[in-house]
Amino acid sequence: MKFSFSFSLMHLLLVLIICITCVNLVQTTPTKIGNGYSLIAIEESPDGGLIGYLKVKKKNNVYGPDIPDLQLYVKHESDNRLRIHITDAEKQRWEVPYNLLPRESAPSLKQTIGKSRKSQFPLSSSQYSGNELMFSYTTDPFTFSVKRKSNGQTLFNTSSEDSDPYSNLVFKDQYLEISTKLPKDASLYGLGENTQPHGIKIYPNDPYTLYTTDQSAINLNMDLYGSHPMYMDMRNVKGEAYAHAVLLLNSNGMDVFYRGNSLTYKVIGGVLDFYFFAGPTPLAVVDQYTQFIGRPAPMPYWSFGFHQCRWGYHNLSVIEDVIANYKKAKIPLDVIWNDDDHMDGKKDFTLNPVNYPGPKLRAFLEKIHAEGMHYVVINDPGIGVNKSYGTYQRGIANDVFIKYEGKPFIAQVWPGAVHFPDFLNPKTVEWWGDEIRRFHELAPIDGLWIDMNEVSNFCTGLCTIPEDRICPNGTGPGWICCLDCKNVTKTKWDDPPYKINASGIQAPIGYKTIATSATHYNGVREYDAHSLYGFSETIATHKGLQALEGKRPFILSRATFVGSGHYAAHWTGDNKGTWEDLKYSISTVMNFGMFGVPMVGSDICGFYPAAPPLEELCNRWIEVGAFYPFSRDHANYYSPRQELYQWKSVAKSARNALGMRYKLLPYFYTLNYEAHKTGAPIVRPLFFTFPNIPELYELSTQFLVGSSVMVSPVLEKAKTKVSALFPPGTWYSLFDMTQAIVSKEPHYRSLDAPLNVVNVHLYQNTIIPMQRGGMLTKHARMTPFTIIVAFPLGASQGEAKGNLYLDEDELPEMKLGNGKSTYMDFYATATNGTVKIWSEVQESKYALDKGWYIEKVTVLGLNALGSAFEILSDGTKVEDTSKVAFASEEHKYIDKLEDGGHKKSMMLDIKGLELPIGKNFAMSWKMGN
């Protein structure tokens, strides 16, 4: 949920405030800010790393005085991860709290250089090697580089020549600057959250500002809800791809300038804490990255169903009507959501006694839970200042709120005047969990949607509650500030010397949020912890939900930071019902997969209303959104109704696209397991599977679900064809598996795409599990399985593989070995005229107890069935195959093969099977002609 005024108005208000507070928008920043540091001493640290001492070369006062002495710490923390940490050698500085993001501690300050004679390093240019990466340094000025050991490729190089438009290392209290040279052919991704109009690649000279801000996703190239100071770098060397990633673990506001041949960080606090991840493949990078920041959270099975929400479901009967209409239209629906309509006066953890009375809501939830549906509600962090409000009373009693000069900081959000919980305080985490427990007793919700947690404030500065008027008074927009406020600019934390490009206009960093001189637990300044607010709330919410019934939590958070995916899903925020927003959503979803937040999606059909007609756009959006990991239709209070049943054409597209999603649920859920174990994104760019093809490096209009299912949607108005880029190999249409596209080189193909059709293709050498589908995940997951085996078309030799993971999906942990899960690997080979398909099962009991079985195997790309068909189950030949039936159909080609040939091949269906999922099976036969 977000404000509903236009961005142009917001900019006007910002400019007025900036003018009033005399903030100079035009900065006369010198090209070179400092002369860098000299490395005075360096030696091996007790833990096997390097520890060094840096001294400033020549002081200046641009953006404040230089910190004269720095401590350098370098360590290969694993075979593929290198850490470089630079901080003040004399005083402790702010860092991302180690209890929020667990990791190895840096050495304590004032380490005595020279006492340990274990291993002295020469001050002359030297290097420190690990298994995959090498750290090299020069002493005067101090610079460092990181190289790939296998080929000597320089990944990061901080040296600055006279002709470079950036300085050597600068380290001041409120201004840190460091740069790296980059090759012009490097492809960079990440540095979010922002909406990137040029696609998924980071674009030279676009602004990249990282500072969590309640600013809608319709604003391009601006700081949005999350802060992810990580980028992946793809390079193609003589046809072979190498990927690595760089994380600057810092929660302070920052600008990142990418010029095409260099990248510069300008950060307003904290430390320089770099982590380098060696890759060398994109999947390996994300594996290494999520191993460090926390593996993505396991999601319950039902969360992969379709979700419906709207700000403006005024009462329970409207919700019931929405569910009934989805059923009537035969469109799958698993989860119904409430924005703040269910609340009493928009206060957290309350129910509206008239529109959502407790007894009626509990009866409603008992009914939909029995059917297999689920219910999620919104929760904003602002706690209404109201002495009769229990949550507020208990918060005051437990002293849980962020303070300004010793008193709870006052802001305004939807309930009116609010205080913000301080989630860095352990007492707050306990209080929050107790409030979740109390509310769950009132309304047994299935998950929480934590919004407005950047944090958002309708006012700016130091505010008081007016005594002469009601605020808000119930008339006019609820987002207009009605408190009595004055700007806070008296401290360096409110008005830092360097102005990051906040909101695209160097807005004050305290604008429409908590004053940055406010304090958290143990005196931590909001200035430092601002971008951690949503992350810390997510951790507290996860703990509170998990304590309820021991179930796997489902949390959707708008604000995110490094590591948020370990606890929550994300949606891309307040978008608009435009074709541009539909297109932008693909890049943002793919970016969050790289950030370690694979459960992500955009508001289908758009949150903000746009000029009608919406019907055609909504058709196309559900065709994309059905393949987002998180698939939800959500709309603004002022938007026209846009549930998928509102138009017959959209309902048809929804039945088609969501019908396929529900058949693919076991595939999606297995990808959820892989994400949890390895970080692999559920939705990913094509170059993740085909890294050696440079043409794919900036492709942002198609995407992969997993490694092998490619979605090629229509993203433009009035189009009934789509031009799709097909990497080399065979691709089979999932909607008609007799249709195949084959190419030897990457080629664009023009595909028919009538209004109700989305093109989805399966790649060769793949085995995927499918089921019959249904209207609810509860029912769909109990239907029999079909295993799709895709060989290269016309192949006489080939192989394919895939997997399947099943579990008791609401258990908090997603793992094998607990008696509540089953895992299967599938393999297939075609060699010497013989086809073999088999499985290898781990932990069979769970699937056997559920009674799941395979009813059909579909084989693509081979010749027809010949003779000697045989099935084994757990090594024993199945003698009775009387129910087994065979059907084959020749593959059709979308266009001619490049070599002009025509390889005859068949789609073979083997039906009537009853192969238990929990048992190893094997089948084989001779191919016919």
Which region among 186-200, 235-249, 704-718, 890-904 has the lowest average model confidence (pLDDT)? 890-904
pLDDT at 899 over 70: no
d(CA 264, CA 246): 13
Residues 733 and 737: their CA atoms lie apart, in Å, by 5
pTM of the model: 0.95
- Residue written as token pair 């990791």: 103
**3-state SS, one letter per residue, for 171-197:** EECCCEEEEEECCCCCEEEEEECCECC
What CA–CA distance (Å, rounded) separates 563 from 96? 11
DSSP string across 207-222:
EEEE------TTSBTS
Distance CA 518, CA 871 (A): 70
Confidence label for 126 from pLDDT (cuts 50, 70 and 90): confident
Q: Which residue has the higher pLDDT, 810 or 678?
A: 678
Task: Give Cα 160 distance to the centre of its chain.
Answer: 34
pLDDT on residue 864:
77
Q: Is 454 labeled as catalytic in the residue annotation?
A: yes
User: Of 817, 835, 819, 837, nearest to 827 (Cα)?
Assistant: 837
Q: How many CB atoms lie within 10 A of CB 508?
A: 25
pLDDT for 111 equals: 60
Evaluate whether 607 touches 574 at the Cβ level (below 8 Å).
Answer: yes
Instruction: Tell me which H or E stretch contains 326.
Output: helix 316-329
Residue 2 has pLDDT above 80, yes or no: no
Which residues, at least 6 apart from 229, have a Cβ–Cβ distance to it below 8 Å?
191, 210, 247, 248, 249, 250, 254, 256, 265, 562
Model pLDDT for residues 377-393, shown as the tens digit of each residue = 999 999 999 999 999 99
The pLDDT of residue 125 is 53
- pLDDT tens track for 402-458: 999 999 999 999 999 999 999 999 999 999 999 999 999 999 999 999 999 999 999
What is the band of 901 on the pLDDT scale with cuts at 50, 70, 90?
A: low
Q: Please compute the mean of the pLDDT values over residues 124-137 and round it to a whole number.
A: 89
Peptide bond into 562 cis (omega under 30): no
- Quote the strand ranges of 849-920, DSSP E: 853-862, 870-873, 876-877, 885-890, 892-893, 906-911, 915-916
Query: pLDDT value at position 891?
Result: 94
Mean pLDDT of 234-241: 95
**pLDDT tens, residue by residue, 36-74:** 999 999 999 999 999 999 999 999 999 999 999 999 999
Cα 300 to chain centroid distance, Å, stands at: 17
What is the DSSP pairing of strand 335-338 with strand 228-237? unpaired
What confidence tens digit (pLDDT) does each residue in 557-585 have? 999 999 999 999 999 999 999 999 999 99
Whether pLDDT at 328 is above 70:
yes
Cα 638 to Cα 2, 5, 505, 605, 645: the distances in Å are 11, 11, 28, 14, 19
Among this protein's residues, is 104 annotated catalytic? no
99-117: per-residue pLDDT in tens? 999 999 999 886 656 544 4
How many other CB atoms are found less than 10 A from the CB of residue 717? 11
Distance CA 791, CA 731 (A): 10
pLDDT at 611: 75
Interval 513-554: pLDDT, tens: 999 999 999 999 999 999 999 999 999 999 999 999 899 999
Write the DSSP string, 634-645: ---TTSPP--TT
pLDDT at 896: 57
The pairing of strands 447-450 and 374-379 is parallel
Asked if residue 508 has pLDDT above 50, the reply is yes
Question: What tokens appear for 5 in the block?
Answer: 């005024």
Give the integer Cα–Cα distance in Å for 708 and 32: 48
Q: Which of 454, 581, 623, 674 is catalytic?
A: 454
- pLDDT score for 352: 98
Report the pLDDT averaged over residues 785-802.
Answer: 95
What confidence tens digit (pLDDT) does each residue in 348-379 have?
999 999 999 999 999 999 999 999 999 999 99
User: CA angle, 860 as apex, 857 and 866 as ends, to 5°?
Assistant: 75
Separation CA 188–CA 724 (nearest Å): 23
Arithmetic mean of pLDDT over the chain: 93
pLDDT confidence bin for 272, thresholds 50/70/90: very high
Which amino acid type is present at position 271? V
In the set 69, 193, 287, 574, the catalytic residue is 574
DSSP annotation of 490:
S
On the question of pLDDT at 207 being above 70, the answer is yes
Residue 121 pLDDT: 60
Q: Which residues contact 512 (CB under 8 A, 6 or more apart)?
A: 214, 456, 457, 458, 459, 460
CA distances from residue 899 to 533, 744, 902 in whole angstroms, order as listed: 58, 9, 9
CB 449 within 8 A of CB 378: yes
Picking from 27-31, 66-70, 893-897, which range would have the lowest pLDDT averaged per residue? 27-31
Count of H-run helices and E-run strands, the chain = 14, 54
Between CA 645 and CA 619 the distance in angstroms is: 11
Mean pLDDT of 867-892: 93
Among 451, 494, 581, 603, the active-site one is: 451
pLDDT of residue 895: 67
